[in-house]
A and B are shown apart, each in its own frame.
Chain A
Amino acid sequence: MNTPHNLSVTGPGPIKSPTEKQICIFCHTPHNADPRAPLWNRDLDAVRNYVMPTSPTLQAYGAGGPQPDGSSKLCLSCHDGTIALGAVRSRATEIPVSGGPMLQPGQKGYLGTDLSGTHPISFVYDDGLASRNNAAGDMPLRFPSTLTDPDVKLDKQGKMQCTTCHDPHDDSNFGAPGVPHFYVKPSWSGTCLTCHDH
């Protein structure tokens, strides 16, 4: 796991520790079978386990709202400008988008810097959305019900998330021109054209 997502002190970098071997815990938080009781709260249900962000119950909170949810929340808990910068690497080439899915300058974004040209996340991508988009004359979208791509996937709620285009475990596609880190496919167009009908 020699990628930037190995955040343990054994990860890439000049300093390594022979003792630190837990490379998964930064995203896959270990379950604590014996949570601590809050001394200011004697209610029995105050002693509990927190719900991880990929849980369906938690995703319901973000439904219909602008907040990043699902697994994207996990990404943004580091990519907030502190542990990692939020800035998305600029694309090598621009594609014309008229009112399409790309965020326009000044639009609200979540990755901490100017998100112009960044793809939105945490929205349900269904056939209705594709129909509305195509009827409006924007760059056509394929109907998600017809998509069978093994790499570019929506989450269990049918939402586009960071993980639709990025596999946080696998950075083997990085290096080709225009291909960002952790891309699910070896080319930029191959990823985008899964949904966008050029």
Chain B
Amino acid sequence: MAMRVATHLRWVLWAATGLAMMLGCAAPPAHPWTPPKRPLIWPLPPNPPRIRYEGAITAGQAFRFATRTGWRVFDWLAGARRVELSTPHGLSAGRGLLAFADSGRPAVHVVNLAERRYKVIEAVGDTRLRCPIGVAIAEDGALFVSDSALARVFCLSGNGQPLGGVEAKFVRPSGLAYDATRRRLHVVDSGAHTVSTFERAADGWPLLRTLGGRGAEAGTFNFPTHAAVDRDGTLWVTDSLNHRIQFFDAEGKRLGAFGQAGDGTGDFAKAKGIALDSEGHVYVVDSLYDVVQVFDRQGRFLLAFGGSGKEEGLLWLPTGVCTDDEDRIYVADTGNSRIQVFQYLRAEPAEGPQAP
């Protein structure tokens, strides 16, 4: 009886949806983030603009909520579920998805940008998340999640079903980076001071190699927190309490490092999230200075954007950062409980040759 009532209700709702679409009120906005009240760019003129503020996904914002296929319309009509964000941390964008870990809630939020659907993952199978930090989206839509309190790295299918974890003895796994070309997952273990690389095999994710160990010398780490991987397989690691970024080639050979402890522009206090755009610029979040610092692949300092505060474009204890294939930069503005979105602006060819 209840099922028949539900079926009838769905037909009514489908009809209402059709009416709403005809009236033109069902067209979703182009992006799920709230656009800025005023334009913001870095740097200011007369310098050519490089970074533009796009908007924010904030706590309380509404999304459609993903659930069983047949019920999507119902969910949409019933009023979109609101984003209950607490302290966003690691992010990953790809395949039209934006996923972010929320250590405070604790949960992983998955936003389908194209379809404006949204879901929250609070448990993997029977295991409730406790402190999710890192997320990574694989080329087949699978989602990796690290939980630093559970000392686990999970692998989930696109609809949230557990696919079996990345089995290894972790101490405090945090940042994740996924290399879709080589089908490799890099796991930063802040507690073990290592970065471990797992490679896809027929029966799971066997360990390929582990880099680091605690130290201050080249190739060792002191509380590494985040990592990013280039198209050519170069692995960039935030070696947070050595106040430097170290980078390694796809075979694990160390290529170099940049950064130092200090309060000057280009220095690090608490370097955290790291990401690269399509031109290979390296974005490094600093939790204490509330900025994203941009470097080239040689480690030369290019720009800082953000700044301390709650207003649009400003940051408070930010942590993770990721980019998408359109060179948007998503920053986990952790202390402000929001994701802020920026756009990298390619240099105009008419600008003339760059000074060496």
Chain A residues with a Cβ under 8 A of chain B: 7-9, 13, 15, 17, 19-20, 22, 25-26, 29-43, 46-53, 58, 61-62, 65, 67-68, 73-74, 76-78, 80-83, 85-87, 108-115
Q: Which one of A61, A74, A80 contacts B319 once the chains associate, using CB atoms below 8 Å?
A: A80
Judge whether B148 and A81 touch: CB under 8 Å: yes
User: How many Å lie between the Cα of A22 and that of B243 in the bound state?
Assistant: 12
Known: A38-B43, A42-B47, A112-B131. A52 touches B263 (CB 8 A): yes
Residues of A within 8 A of B310 (CB): 61, 65, 67
Nearest CB in chain B to that of A108: its residue: B86
Q: Min CB distance, A194 to chain B, in Å?
A: 27
Q: In the bound complex, do residue A50 and residue B215 qualify as a contact, i.e. CB atoms below 8 Å apart?
A: no
Mask for B274-287, Cβ within 8 A of A = 1, else 0? 00000000000011
Q: Is B172 an interface residue (CB 8 A)?
A: yes
Q: How far is the CA of A68 from the CA of B288 in the complex (A)?
A: 12
- A104 CB, nearest partner CB in chain B, Å: 14
- Which residues of chain B (43-77) have a CB below 8 Å from chain A? 43-44, 47-48, 50
Residues on A with C-beta less than 8 A from B225 are: 82-83
* Cα–Cα distance between A104 and B332 once the two chains are bound (Å): 25
Question: Hey, which chain A residues are within 8 Å of B261, CB to CB?
Answer: 22, 25, 29-30
Residue of A nearest to B148 (CB): A81
> Which residue of chain A lies nearest to B48 when distances are taken between CB atoms in the complex?
A40
Q: Which residues of B contact A30 (CB under 8 A)?
A: 261-263
How close is B139's CB to chain A, nearest CB, in angstroms? 26
What is the minimal beta-carbon distance from B289 to any residue of chain A, in angstroms? Answer: 4
Q: Are A8 and B265 in contact (CB under 8 A)?
A: no
- Whether the pair A13, B214 counts as a contact (CB closer than 8 A) is yes
User: Cβ of B288 and Cβ of A74 under 8 Å apart?
Assistant: yes
Residues A50 and B174 in contact in the complex (CB < 8 Å), given A7-B241, A82-B225, A83-B223: no
